[in-house]
A and B are shown apart, each in its own frame.
With several copies, the nearest count.
Chain A
Amino acid sequence: MIDIRTEIGSLALNNPILTASGTFGYGDDLPDYVDIKDFGGIVTKSLTRQPRDGNAPPRIVETASGMLNSIGLANIGVEAFIRDKLPIIREKETVIIVNIAGSRLEEYCEILELLDGEAGIDAYEINVSCPNVKQGGMEFGVSCPHLKRLIKALRKLTERPIITKLSPNVTSIEEMAQAAVDAGSDMLSLVNTLVGAAIDIENRRPILSTIFGGLSGPAITPVALAQIFKVYESVNVPIIGIGGIGSAEDVIAFLMAGASAVQIGTMNYRDPGIGLKLMPRIEAWLGEHSIERITDIVGAAHA
Protein backbone atom coordinates (compact mmCIF):
# COMPACT_ATOMS: atom_id res chain seq x y z
CA MET A 1 0.00 0.00 0.00
CA ILE A 2 1.40 3.31 -1.08
CA ASP A 3 0.57 6.28 1.07
CA ILE A 4 -0.58 9.09 -1.20
CA ARG A 5 -1.78 11.38 1.56
CA THR A 6 0.12 14.55 2.09
CA GLU A 7 0.13 17.57 4.33
CA ILE A 8 0.53 21.18 3.42
CA GLY A 9 1.11 23.00 6.66
CA SER A 10 -1.82 22.14 8.89
CA LEU A 11 -3.95 20.85 6.01
CA ALA A 12 -4.21 17.10 5.52
CA LEU A 13 -4.95 16.12 1.92
CA ASN A 14 -6.11 12.73 0.69
CA ASN A 15 -3.85 13.19 -2.28
CA PRO A 16 -1.65 16.02 -3.52
CA ILE A 17 -3.78 17.04 -6.52
CA LEU A 18 -5.88 20.17 -6.16
CA THR A 19 -7.83 22.08 -8.76
CA ALA A 20 -6.50 25.51 -9.75
CA SER A 21 -8.54 28.64 -9.19
CA GLY A 22 -10.63 29.70 -12.15
CA THR A 23 -10.66 26.30 -13.74
CA PHE A 24 -13.22 24.48 -11.63
CA GLY A 25 -15.85 27.11 -10.88
CA TYR A 26 -16.92 26.98 -7.25
CA GLY A 27 -16.86 23.21 -7.14
CA ASP A 28 -20.66 22.95 -7.04
CA ASP A 29 -21.63 22.72 -10.66
CA LEU A 30 -19.50 20.09 -12.35
CA PRO A 31 -20.06 17.71 -15.25
CA ASP A 32 -21.57 14.45 -14.01
CA TYR A 33 -18.47 12.39 -14.69
CA VAL A 34 -16.35 14.46 -12.31
CA ASP A 35 -16.18 13.36 -8.72
CA ILE A 36 -14.82 16.05 -6.48
CA LYS A 37 -13.50 13.36 -4.12
CA ASP A 38 -10.87 12.45 -6.72
CA PHE A 39 -9.09 15.66 -5.86
CA GLY A 40 -7.14 16.25 -2.67
CA GLY A 41 -8.86 19.59 -2.51
CA ILE A 42 -10.45 22.29 -4.59
CA VAL A 43 -9.65 25.94 -4.98
CA THR A 44 -12.56 28.20 -5.89
CA LYS A 45 -12.64 30.81 -8.62
CA SER A 46 -11.28 34.10 -7.26
CA LEU A 47 -13.93 35.93 -5.27
CA THR A 48 -14.16 39.69 -5.19
CA ARG A 49 -16.18 41.88 -2.82
CA GLN A 50 -18.81 42.65 -5.45
CA PRO A 51 -19.92 40.39 -8.30
CA ARG A 52 -18.01 41.02 -11.50
CA ASP A 53 -19.20 40.53 -15.08
CA GLY A 54 -15.67 40.07 -16.28
CA ASN A 55 -13.97 41.42 -19.38
CA ALA A 56 -15.46 41.89 -22.82
CA PRO A 57 -14.91 39.01 -25.23
CA PRO A 58 -12.75 37.65 -26.78
CA ARG A 59 -11.42 36.32 -23.50
CA ILE A 60 -9.44 33.27 -24.53
CA VAL A 61 -6.95 32.26 -27.23
CA GLU A 62 -5.36 28.89 -27.86
CA THR A 63 -1.57 29.17 -28.20
CA ALA A 64 1.23 26.64 -28.76
CA SER A 65 0.78 24.12 -25.91
CA GLY A 66 -1.03 26.75 -23.91
CA MET A 67 -3.75 29.35 -23.80
CA LEU A 68 -4.23 32.98 -22.94
CA ASN A 69 -7.13 34.16 -20.83
CA SER A 70 -8.44 37.50 -19.77
CA ILE A 71 -11.59 36.46 -17.97
CA GLY A 72 -11.26 39.50 -15.75
CA LEU A 73 -12.23 37.77 -12.52
CA ALA A 74 -15.82 37.20 -13.59
CA ASN A 75 -17.37 35.90 -10.37
CA ILE A 76 -20.53 36.01 -8.31
CA GLY A 77 -19.01 38.00 -5.45
CA VAL A 78 -18.24 36.86 -1.94
CA GLU A 79 -21.75 37.31 -0.55
CA ALA A 80 -23.45 35.19 -3.19
CA PHE A 81 -20.70 32.61 -2.71
CA ILE A 82 -21.42 32.41 1.01
CA ARG A 83 -25.14 32.26 0.41
CA ASP A 84 -25.39 29.95 -2.62
CA LYS A 85 -22.22 27.93 -3.01
CA LEU A 86 -20.55 27.38 0.34
CA PRO A 87 -23.49 25.47 1.85
CA ILE A 88 -23.26 22.98 -1.02
CA ILE A 89 -19.51 22.49 -1.22
CA ARG A 90 -18.80 22.40 2.50
CA GLU A 91 -20.69 19.10 2.54
CA LYS A 92 -18.26 17.50 0.11
CA GLU A 93 -15.50 15.23 1.34
CA THR A 94 -12.62 17.34 0.22
CA VAL A 95 -10.52 20.26 1.35
CA ILE A 96 -11.99 23.64 0.40
CA ILE A 97 -9.63 26.49 -0.34
CA VAL A 98 -11.25 29.81 -1.13
CA ASN A 99 -9.33 32.11 -3.45
CA ILE A 100 -9.79 35.83 -2.98
CA ALA A 101 -8.83 38.82 -5.10
CA GLY A 102 -9.21 42.54 -4.85
CA SER A 103 -7.98 45.80 -6.22
CA ARG A 104 -7.30 47.47 -2.86
CA LEU A 105 -5.97 46.15 0.43
CA GLU A 106 -9.25 47.01 2.14
CA GLU A 107 -11.19 44.95 -0.38
CA TYR A 108 -9.11 41.84 0.34
CA CYS A 109 -9.66 42.42 4.06
CA GLU A 110 -13.41 42.79 3.74
CA ILE A 111 -13.71 39.61 1.71
CA LEU A 112 -11.63 37.64 4.16
CA GLU A 113 -13.59 38.94 7.13
CA LEU A 114 -16.87 37.92 5.54
CA LEU A 115 -15.55 34.44 4.81
CA ASP A 116 -13.87 33.96 8.15
CA GLY A 117 -17.23 33.99 9.88
CA GLU A 118 -18.30 30.91 7.87
CA ALA A 119 -17.67 27.27 8.62
CA GLY A 120 -16.32 24.82 6.07
CA ILE A 121 -13.38 26.76 4.64
CA ASP A 122 -10.02 25.10 5.12
CA ALA A 123 -7.69 27.81 3.84
CA TYR A 124 -7.48 31.01 1.82
CA GLU A 125 -5.47 31.44 -1.33
CA ILE A 126 -4.61 35.05 -2.02
CA ASN A 127 -4.55 35.98 -5.68
CA VAL A 128 -2.13 38.88 -5.95
CA SER A 129 -1.25 38.29 -9.51
CA CYS A 130 -4.18 38.42 -11.79
CA PRO A 131 -2.67 40.14 -14.81
CA ASN A 132 -5.86 40.92 -16.64
CA VAL A 133 -7.88 43.28 -14.53
CA LYS A 134 -7.47 46.96 -15.25
CA GLN A 135 -8.27 48.37 -11.83
CA GLY A 136 -5.12 47.28 -10.04
CA GLY A 137 -4.52 44.33 -7.75
CA MET A 138 -1.44 43.59 -9.80
CA GLU A 139 0.94 45.77 -7.79
CA PHE A 140 0.60 43.37 -4.86
CA GLY A 141 2.04 40.62 -7.03
CA VAL A 142 5.08 42.46 -8.29
CA SER A 143 6.18 44.67 -5.41
CA CYS A 144 7.62 43.24 -2.19
CA PRO A 145 6.50 46.06 0.12
CA HIS A 146 2.94 46.01 -1.24
CA LEU A 147 2.76 42.25 -0.92
CA LYS A 148 4.09 42.33 2.63
CA ARG A 149 1.59 44.96 3.66
CA LEU A 150 -1.30 42.98 2.19
CA ILE A 151 -0.39 39.62 3.71
CA LYS A 152 0.33 41.21 7.10
CA ALA A 153 -3.11 42.80 7.11
CA LEU A 154 -4.80 39.52 6.21
CA ARG A 155 -2.73 37.56 8.69
CA LYS A 156 -4.20 39.63 11.50
CA LEU A 157 -7.74 38.73 10.45
CA THR A 158 -7.67 34.95 10.43
CA GLU A 159 -6.34 31.86 12.11
CA ARG A 160 -6.89 29.82 8.99
CA PRO A 161 -3.96 28.98 6.73
CA ILE A 162 -3.04 31.66 4.22
CA ILE A 163 -1.61 30.59 0.87
CA THR A 164 -0.08 33.40 -1.15
CA LYS A 165 -0.31 32.76 -4.87
CA LEU A 166 2.74 34.26 -6.51
CA SER A 167 3.02 35.89 -9.90
CA PRO A 168 5.78 34.57 -12.16
CA ASN A 169 6.12 37.95 -13.86
CA VAL A 170 8.87 39.24 -11.60
CA THR A 171 12.62 39.62 -11.72
CA SER A 172 13.12 37.73 -8.48
CA ILE A 173 10.57 35.16 -7.35
CA GLU A 174 12.68 34.46 -4.26
CA GLU A 175 12.23 38.01 -3.01
CA MET A 176 8.47 37.85 -3.45
CA ALA A 177 8.35 34.48 -1.70
CA GLN A 178 10.41 35.82 1.18
CA ALA A 179 8.18 38.88 1.52
CA ALA A 180 5.05 36.71 1.71
CA VAL A 181 6.56 34.37 4.26
CA ASP A 182 7.91 37.23 6.37
CA ALA A 183 4.42 38.70 6.44
CA GLY A 184 3.00 35.47 7.80
CA SER A 185 1.92 33.46 4.77
CA ASP A 186 1.72 29.80 5.80
CA MET A 187 2.29 28.51 2.31
CA LEU A 188 2.95 29.62 -1.22
CA SER A 189 1.34 28.57 -4.45
CA LEU A 190 3.03 29.24 -7.76
CA VAL A 191 2.77 30.02 -10.57
CA ASN A 192 -0.10 32.15 -11.68
CA THR A 193 -0.19 32.92 -15.41
CA LEU A 194 2.55 34.64 -17.42
CA VAL A 195 1.66 37.89 -19.13
CA GLY A 196 1.13 37.23 -22.83
CA ALA A 197 -0.63 38.51 -25.92
CA ALA A 198 -1.78 37.28 -29.32
CA ILE A 199 -2.49 39.19 -32.51
CA ASP A 200 -5.48 38.84 -34.82
CA ILE A 201 -3.61 39.49 -38.05
CA GLU A 202 -6.75 39.67 -40.21
CA ASN A 203 -8.19 42.47 -38.14
CA ARG A 204 -4.82 43.97 -37.17
CA ARG A 205 -5.44 44.09 -33.47
CA PRO A 206 -4.76 42.11 -30.32
CA ILE A 207 -7.11 39.14 -30.04
CA LEU A 208 -8.00 39.73 -26.39
CA SER A 209 -10.20 42.70 -25.64
CA THR A 210 -7.75 43.62 -22.87
CA ILE A 211 -4.68 43.24 -25.16
CA PHE A 212 -2.80 41.25 -22.49
CA GLY A 213 -3.89 38.04 -20.86
CA GLY A 214 -2.47 35.24 -18.76
CA LEU A 215 -0.57 32.37 -20.37
CA SER A 216 -1.18 28.92 -18.87
CA GLY A 217 -0.82 25.30 -19.87
CA PRO A 218 2.12 22.96 -20.63
CA ALA A 219 3.96 25.77 -22.41
CA ILE A 220 4.74 27.35 -19.02
CA THR A 221 5.71 24.19 -17.14
CA PRO A 222 9.49 24.79 -17.42
CA VAL A 223 9.09 28.33 -16.03
CA ALA A 224 6.97 27.02 -13.14
CA LEU A 225 9.46 24.27 -12.31
CA ALA A 226 12.35 26.75 -12.27
CA GLN A 227 10.54 29.14 -9.95
CA ILE A 228 9.42 26.37 -7.61
CA PHE A 229 12.97 25.00 -7.54
CA LYS A 230 14.28 28.42 -6.53
CA VAL A 231 11.60 29.13 -3.94
CA TYR A 232 12.11 25.70 -2.36
CA GLU A 233 15.74 26.60 -1.72
CA SER A 234 14.99 30.07 -0.38
CA VAL A 235 12.06 29.74 2.02
CA ASN A 236 10.88 27.07 4.38
CA VAL A 237 7.11 26.78 3.91
CA PRO A 238 5.10 24.26 1.90
CA ILE A 239 4.80 25.02 -1.80
CA ILE A 240 1.84 24.22 -4.02
CA GLY A 241 3.08 23.79 -7.58
CA ILE A 242 1.05 25.04 -10.55
CA GLY A 243 1.76 25.31 -14.26
CA GLY A 244 0.57 23.14 -17.12
CA ILE A 245 0.33 19.92 -15.15
CA GLY A 246 -1.42 17.21 -17.16
CA SER A 247 0.30 13.89 -16.53
CA ALA A 248 1.48 11.68 -13.69
CA GLU A 249 5.08 12.46 -14.71
CA ASP A 250 4.33 16.17 -14.44
CA VAL A 251 3.02 15.78 -10.90
CA ILE A 252 6.10 13.78 -9.91
CA ALA A 253 8.41 16.39 -11.46
CA PHE A 254 6.68 19.21 -9.55
CA LEU A 255 6.94 17.30 -6.28
CA MET A 256 10.62 16.56 -6.88
CA ALA A 257 11.23 20.25 -7.66
CA GLY A 258 9.88 21.08 -4.23
CA ALA A 259 6.09 21.21 -4.29
CA SER A 260 4.18 19.43 -1.52
CA ALA A 261 0.99 19.48 -3.55
CA VAL A 262 -0.03 20.65 -7.02
CA GLN A 263 -2.93 22.35 -8.75
CA ILE A 264 -4.27 21.46 -12.17
CA GLY A 265 -5.72 24.26 -14.25
CA THR A 266 -5.74 24.35 -18.02
CA MET A 267 -5.50 20.58 -18.43
CA ASN A 268 -8.73 20.21 -16.48
CA TYR A 269 -10.48 21.75 -19.44
CA ARG A 270 -9.54 19.06 -21.84
CA ASP A 271 -10.21 16.43 -19.27
CA PRO A 272 -12.26 17.41 -16.22
CA GLY A 273 -11.91 13.80 -15.10
CA ILE A 274 -8.15 14.19 -14.84
CA GLY A 275 -8.02 13.84 -11.03
CA LEU A 276 -9.44 10.37 -11.39
CA LYS A 277 -6.90 9.39 -14.00
CA LEU A 278 -3.65 10.71 -12.61
CA MET A 279 -3.59 9.37 -9.06
CA PRO A 280 -3.62 5.66 -9.97
CA ARG A 281 -0.78 6.29 -12.43
CA ILE A 282 1.22 8.13 -9.82
CA GLU A 283 0.65 5.31 -7.36
CA ALA A 284 1.80 2.80 -9.94
CA TRP A 285 4.95 4.80 -10.61
CA LEU A 286 5.72 5.05 -6.91
CA GLY A 287 5.16 1.31 -6.57
CA GLU A 288 7.52 0.49 -9.44
CA HIS A 289 10.15 2.64 -7.78
CA SER A 290 9.57 1.13 -4.32
CA ILE A 291 8.59 4.46 -2.84
CA GLU A 292 6.15 4.01 0.02
CA ARG A 293 5.00 7.52 0.73
CA ILE A 294 4.41 10.18 -1.86
CA THR A 295 5.86 12.71 0.56
CA ASP A 296 9.23 10.97 0.16
CA ILE A 297 9.79 12.53 -3.23
CA VAL A 298 9.05 16.13 -2.28
CA GLY A 299 12.18 18.13 -3.05
CA ALA A 300 14.02 14.99 -4.20
CA ALA A 301 15.60 16.80 -7.16
CA HIS A 302 17.57 19.06 -4.84
CA ALA A 303 21.15 17.94 -4.26
Chain B
Amino acid sequence: MSKIYLEQALVYSNDEIAQDIFELRLETPAIASEHKPGQFINIQTNPGGLPLWRRPFSIARISGDIIDIIYKVIGTGTQQMAALRPGDAADIIGPLGNSFSVEIKSGTIPLLIGGGLGFAPLIILRDYFVHREITPVLFMGAVTKAEHYYLDDPQAELMLTTDDGTLGHQGLVTDSLQRYFEDAAGHQRFAAYSCGPEPMLAKVASVCRTHGIPLELSIEREMACGVGLCQGCAIEQLPPQKKYALVCKDGPIFNAEVLAFTDHTGSSND
Protein backbone atom coordinates (compact mmCIF):
# COMPACT_ATOMS: atom_id res chain seq x y z
CA MET B 1 0.00 0.00 0.00
CA SER B 2 1.22 3.46 -0.82
CA LYS B 3 1.25 6.13 1.85
CA ILE B 4 -1.90 8.25 1.96
CA TYR B 5 -1.78 12.04 2.24
CA LEU B 6 -4.37 14.61 3.26
CA GLU B 7 -3.38 17.73 1.36
CA GLN B 8 -4.31 21.26 0.41
CA ALA B 9 -3.22 21.00 -3.21
CA LEU B 10 -2.72 24.12 -5.28
CA VAL B 11 -4.94 24.41 -8.36
CA TYR B 12 -2.65 24.84 -11.33
CA SER B 13 -5.41 24.99 -13.95
CA ASN B 14 -9.01 23.89 -14.45
CA ASP B 15 -10.18 24.05 -18.05
CA GLU B 16 -13.22 22.82 -19.94
CA ILE B 17 -11.79 20.37 -22.49
CA ALA B 18 -15.06 19.09 -23.94
CA GLN B 19 -18.76 19.67 -23.29
CA ASP B 20 -19.14 19.76 -19.47
CA ILE B 21 -15.83 17.93 -19.16
CA PHE B 22 -13.02 19.60 -17.26
CA GLU B 23 -9.38 18.90 -16.69
CA LEU B 24 -8.26 19.88 -13.19
CA ARG B 25 -4.51 20.06 -12.63
CA LEU B 26 -3.31 20.00 -9.04
CA GLU B 27 0.14 20.55 -7.63
CA THR B 28 0.82 17.82 -5.09
CA PRO B 29 4.37 16.45 -5.07
CA ALA B 30 3.65 13.78 -2.47
CA ILE B 31 0.68 12.22 -4.23
CA ALA B 32 2.30 12.63 -7.64
CA SER B 33 5.36 10.68 -6.57
CA GLU B 34 3.52 8.03 -4.59
CA HIS B 35 0.72 7.17 -7.03
CA LYS B 36 0.35 4.05 -9.15
CA PRO B 37 -1.79 3.80 -12.33
CA GLY B 38 -5.46 3.19 -11.45
CA GLN B 39 -5.45 4.95 -8.09
CA PHE B 40 -7.75 7.82 -7.22
CA ILE B 41 -8.05 10.87 -5.00
CA ASN B 42 -10.98 11.99 -2.88
CA ILE B 43 -11.76 15.69 -2.93
CA GLN B 44 -13.75 17.85 -0.54
CA THR B 45 -15.60 20.05 -3.01
CA ASN B 46 -17.08 22.49 -0.47
CA PRO B 47 -15.10 22.41 2.77
CA GLY B 48 -17.44 22.84 5.73
CA GLY B 49 -20.57 22.82 3.55
CA LEU B 50 -22.51 20.40 1.37
CA PRO B 51 -22.12 17.90 -0.20
CA LEU B 52 -21.17 16.05 2.94
CA TRP B 53 -19.04 13.38 1.31
CA ARG B 54 -15.84 13.85 -0.60
CA ARG B 55 -15.97 12.98 -4.31
CA PRO B 56 -13.63 10.36 -5.81
CA PHE B 57 -11.78 10.86 -9.10
CA SER B 58 -9.18 8.75 -10.87
CA ILE B 59 -5.77 10.22 -11.43
CA ALA B 60 -5.68 10.63 -15.20
CA ARG B 61 -2.16 11.86 -15.72
CA ILE B 62 0.98 12.87 -13.85
CA SER B 63 3.53 15.42 -14.97
CA GLY B 64 6.19 16.15 -12.41
CA ASP B 65 4.48 17.42 -9.27
CA ILE B 66 1.15 17.81 -10.99
CA ILE B 67 -1.71 15.34 -11.13
CA ASP B 68 -4.56 15.70 -13.62
CA ILE B 69 -8.17 14.83 -12.97
CA ILE B 70 -10.62 14.68 -15.85
CA TYR B 71 -14.17 15.04 -14.68
CA LYS B 72 -17.66 15.56 -15.98
CA VAL B 73 -20.00 18.06 -14.33
CA ILE B 74 -23.02 16.02 -13.27
CA GLY B 75 -24.14 17.32 -9.87
CA THR B 76 -23.42 19.65 -6.98
CA GLY B 77 -19.90 18.46 -6.20
CA THR B 78 -18.61 18.61 -9.75
CA GLN B 79 -20.29 22.00 -10.24
CA GLN B 80 -18.33 23.28 -7.27
CA MET B 81 -15.15 21.81 -8.73
CA ALA B 82 -15.78 23.61 -12.01
CA ALA B 83 -15.60 26.89 -10.06
CA LEU B 84 -12.02 26.23 -8.88
CA ARG B 85 -9.56 28.81 -10.16
CA PRO B 86 -5.78 28.65 -10.53
CA GLY B 87 -4.24 29.48 -7.16
CA ASP B 88 -7.16 28.08 -5.15
CA ALA B 89 -6.53 25.24 -2.74
CA ALA B 90 -8.20 21.86 -3.19
CA ASP B 91 -8.61 19.64 -0.14
CA ILE B 92 -7.69 16.15 -1.33
CA ILE B 93 -6.83 12.74 0.07
CA GLY B 94 -4.73 10.30 -1.95
CA PRO B 95 -3.46 8.30 -3.58
CA LEU B 96 -6.20 5.81 -2.74
CA GLY B 97 -7.04 2.25 -3.69
CA ASN B 98 -5.13 -0.46 -5.50
CA SER B 99 -3.71 -0.18 -9.01
CA PHE B 100 -3.68 -1.89 -12.39
CA SER B 101 -1.39 -4.89 -12.93
CA VAL B 102 1.10 -3.31 -15.24
CA GLU B 103 3.76 -6.00 -15.38
CA ILE B 104 3.02 -7.77 -18.64
CA LYS B 105 5.08 -10.28 -20.60
CA SER B 106 7.08 -8.79 -23.41
CA GLY B 107 5.13 -8.82 -26.67
CA THR B 108 1.78 -8.53 -24.93
CA ILE B 109 -0.39 -5.76 -26.38
CA PRO B 110 -2.30 -3.71 -23.80
CA LEU B 111 -5.89 -2.99 -24.82
CA LEU B 112 -7.37 0.02 -23.06
CA ILE B 113 -11.16 0.18 -23.38
CA GLY B 114 -12.99 3.20 -22.06
CA GLY B 115 -16.54 4.51 -22.20
CA GLY B 116 -17.16 8.21 -21.64
CA LEU B 117 -15.51 9.51 -18.50
CA GLY B 118 -14.39 5.96 -17.95
CA PHE B 119 -11.42 6.79 -20.05
CA ALA B 120 -9.72 8.97 -17.47
CA PRO B 121 -7.91 6.22 -15.48
CA LEU B 122 -6.82 4.57 -18.72
CA ILE B 123 -4.85 7.61 -19.83
CA ILE B 124 -2.33 7.22 -17.05
CA LEU B 125 -2.04 3.56 -17.94
CA ARG B 126 -1.43 4.52 -21.56
CA ASP B 127 1.32 6.89 -20.42
CA TYR B 128 2.86 4.13 -18.35
CA PHE B 129 3.08 1.77 -21.32
CA VAL B 130 4.15 4.38 -23.85
CA HIS B 131 6.89 5.47 -21.48
CA ARG B 132 8.14 1.87 -21.51
CA GLU B 133 7.94 1.72 -25.30
CA ILE B 134 4.97 -0.57 -25.30
CA THR B 135 2.31 0.55 -27.77
CA PRO B 136 -1.20 0.12 -26.38
CA VAL B 137 -4.38 0.04 -28.41
CA LEU B 138 -6.93 2.52 -27.13
CA PHE B 139 -10.67 2.01 -27.65
CA MET B 140 -12.67 5.00 -26.66
CA GLY B 141 -16.42 5.41 -26.90
CA ALA B 142 -18.74 8.30 -26.19
CA VAL B 143 -22.33 9.21 -26.96
CA THR B 144 -21.43 11.96 -29.36
CA LYS B 145 -18.49 13.91 -30.74
CA ALA B 146 -18.82 16.79 -28.31
CA GLU B 147 -18.08 14.45 -25.41
CA HIS B 148 -14.85 13.10 -26.84
CA TYR B 149 -11.85 14.73 -25.24
CA TYR B 150 -9.11 12.34 -26.30
CA LEU B 151 -8.96 12.78 -30.02
CA ASP B 152 -5.50 12.02 -31.14
CA ASP B 153 -2.57 9.88 -30.03
CA PRO B 154 0.55 9.69 -32.17
CA GLN B 155 2.18 7.12 -29.89
CA ALA B 156 -0.65 4.64 -29.64
CA GLU B 157 -3.30 3.09 -31.79
CA LEU B 158 -6.60 4.94 -31.17
CA MET B 159 -10.06 3.68 -32.10
CA LEU B 160 -12.84 6.16 -31.51
CA THR B 161 -16.54 5.33 -31.56
CA THR B 162 -19.67 7.37 -31.00
CA ASP B 163 -23.18 6.12 -30.50
CA ASP B 164 -24.42 8.61 -33.07
CA GLY B 165 -21.60 8.32 -35.59
CA THR B 166 -20.53 11.96 -35.29
CA LEU B 167 -16.92 10.85 -34.75
CA GLY B 168 -15.04 7.64 -35.52
CA HIS B 169 -17.03 4.48 -35.97
CA GLN B 170 -20.72 4.57 -35.24
CA GLY B 171 -21.63 2.06 -32.58
CA LEU B 172 -20.47 0.85 -29.22
CA VAL B 173 -16.91 0.57 -28.08
CA THR B 174 -17.49 -3.16 -27.63
CA ASP B 175 -18.37 -3.49 -31.33
CA SER B 176 -15.07 -1.89 -32.13
CA LEU B 177 -13.26 -4.28 -29.78
CA GLN B 178 -15.04 -7.27 -31.29
CA ARG B 179 -14.00 -6.15 -34.78
CA TYR B 180 -10.41 -5.71 -33.62
CA PHE B 181 -10.24 -9.28 -32.40
CA GLU B 182 -11.70 -10.57 -35.65
CA ASP B 183 -8.98 -8.73 -37.59
CA ALA B 184 -6.23 -9.73 -35.16
CA ALA B 185 -7.18 -13.35 -35.81
CA GLY B 186 -6.30 -14.46 -32.34
CA HIS B 187 -2.57 -15.19 -32.55
CA GLN B 188 -1.36 -12.31 -30.40
CA ARG B 189 -1.08 -11.95 -26.62
CA PHE B 190 -3.26 -9.23 -25.07
CA ALA B 191 -3.93 -7.73 -21.65
CA ALA B 192 -7.14 -5.75 -21.42
CA TYR B 193 -8.08 -2.90 -19.07
CA SER B 194 -11.44 -1.22 -19.03
CA CYS B 195 -13.44 1.46 -17.31
CA GLY B 196 -16.90 2.83 -18.00
CA PRO B 197 -20.60 2.20 -17.35
CA GLU B 198 -21.20 -1.24 -15.86
CA PRO B 199 -23.36 -2.63 -18.67
CA MET B 200 -20.47 -1.80 -20.99
CA LEU B 201 -17.97 -3.43 -18.63
CA ALA B 202 -20.09 -6.57 -18.52
CA LYS B 203 -20.03 -6.68 -22.31
CA VAL B 204 -16.28 -6.04 -22.47
CA ALA B 205 -15.84 -8.87 -19.97
CA SER B 206 -17.90 -11.16 -22.11
CA VAL B 207 -15.92 -10.34 -25.27
CA CYS B 208 -12.58 -10.76 -23.46
CA ARG B 209 -13.68 -14.03 -21.89
CA THR B 210 -14.61 -15.39 -25.32
CA HIS B 211 -11.12 -14.59 -26.52
CA GLY B 212 -9.38 -15.76 -23.38
CA ILE B 213 -7.92 -12.35 -22.59
CA PRO B 214 -7.22 -11.27 -19.01
CA LEU B 215 -9.18 -8.16 -18.11
CA GLU B 216 -8.97 -5.64 -15.31
CA LEU B 217 -11.81 -3.25 -14.58
CA SER B 218 -11.83 0.10 -12.81
CA ILE B 219 -15.05 0.25 -10.79
CA GLU B 220 -17.01 3.21 -9.46
CA ARG B 221 -19.25 3.23 -6.41
CA GLU B 222 -20.56 6.03 -4.24
CA MET B 223 -18.16 6.43 -1.35
CA ALA B 224 -18.69 7.89 2.11
CA CYS B 225 -15.07 7.62 3.23
CA GLY B 226 -12.86 6.33 0.41
CA VAL B 227 -10.39 4.81 2.86
CA GLY B 228 -12.03 1.57 3.98
CA LEU B 229 -13.60 2.84 7.20
CA CYS B 230 -17.34 2.79 6.45
CA GLN B 231 -17.81 -0.42 4.41
CA GLY B 232 -20.28 1.46 2.27
CA CYS B 233 -18.76 0.81 -1.15
CA ALA B 234 -19.22 -2.95 -1.16
CA ILE B 235 -19.32 -4.85 -4.44
CA GLU B 236 -20.34 -8.47 -4.76
CA GLN B 237 -17.69 -11.00 -5.73
CA LEU B 238 -17.96 -14.56 -6.99
CA PRO B 239 -16.89 -17.53 -4.87
CA PRO B 240 -14.30 -18.48 -3.73
CA GLN B 241 -13.61 -14.78 -3.07
CA LYS B 242 -15.06 -13.21 0.07
CA LYS B 243 -18.62 -12.16 -0.63
CA TYR B 244 -18.11 -8.40 -0.71
CA ALA B 245 -15.03 -6.39 -1.59
CA LEU B 246 -14.61 -2.68 -0.84
CA VAL B 247 -14.24 -0.69 -4.03
CA CYS B 248 -12.22 2.03 -2.27
CA LYS B 249 -9.67 -0.28 -0.72
CA ASP B 250 -9.74 -3.72 -2.36
CA GLY B 251 -10.40 -1.86 -5.62
CA PRO B 252 -11.08 0.23 -7.60
CA ILE B 253 -9.27 -2.20 -9.91
CA PHE B 254 -10.67 -5.72 -10.08
CA ASN B 255 -9.98 -8.74 -12.19
CA ALA B 256 -13.16 -9.10 -14.25
CA GLU B 257 -13.48 -12.75 -13.27
CA VAL B 258 -13.95 -12.12 -9.55
CA LEU B 259 -16.93 -9.76 -9.84
CA ALA B 260 -20.52 -10.94 -9.75
CA PHE B 261 -21.97 -8.39 -12.15
CA THR B 262 -19.76 -9.41 -15.07
CA ASP B 263 -21.14 -12.91 -14.67
CA HIS B 264 -24.38 -11.84 -16.28
CA THR B 265 -22.98 -11.92 -19.76
CA GLY B 266 -24.90 -10.63 -22.68
CA SER B 267 -26.89 -8.11 -20.71
CA SER B 268 -28.14 -6.01 -23.56
CA ASN B 269 -28.85 -2.66 -21.99
CA ASP B 270 -25.71 -0.72 -22.55
Contacts and interface: CB of A to CB of B under 8 A. Distances in A.
Q: Is there direct touching of A and B in the complex, by C-beta distance under 8 Å?
A: yes
A269 B224 contact: yes
Interface stretch (A59-67, A138-146, A223-231): A59-67
A269 B230 contact: yes
A266 interface: yes
A23 B230 CA distance: 5
B44 to A, nearest CB: 6
A20 to B, nearest CB: 11
Chain A interface, DSSP helix/strand/loop, else mixed: loop
Contact of A31 (B50, B93, B232, B244): B93
Contacts of B225: 23, 268-269, 272
B256 interface: no
Interface residues of B, number: 29
A25 interface: yes
Interface residue tally of chain A, by bracket? 20 to 34
B156 interface: no
A57 B229 contact: no
A54 B244 contact: yes
Contacts, number: 91
B105 interface: no
B93 A65 contact: no
Contact of B232 (A24, A32, A59, A271): A59
B5 A62 contact: no
Nearest to B221: A57
A269 B229 CA distance: 8
Given A31-B4, A32-B3, A71 B231 contact: yes
Contacts of B25: none
A3 interface: no
Given A60-B233, A71-B230, 4 more contacts: A24-B229, A33-B4, A69-B230, A74-B234
Interface of A: 22-25, 29-33, 53-54, 56-62, 64-67, 69, 71, 74, 217-218, 266, 268-273
7 tightest CB-CB pairs across the interface, nearest first? A60-B232, A269-B225, A53-B243, A31-B4, A33-B6, A57-B234, A269-B224
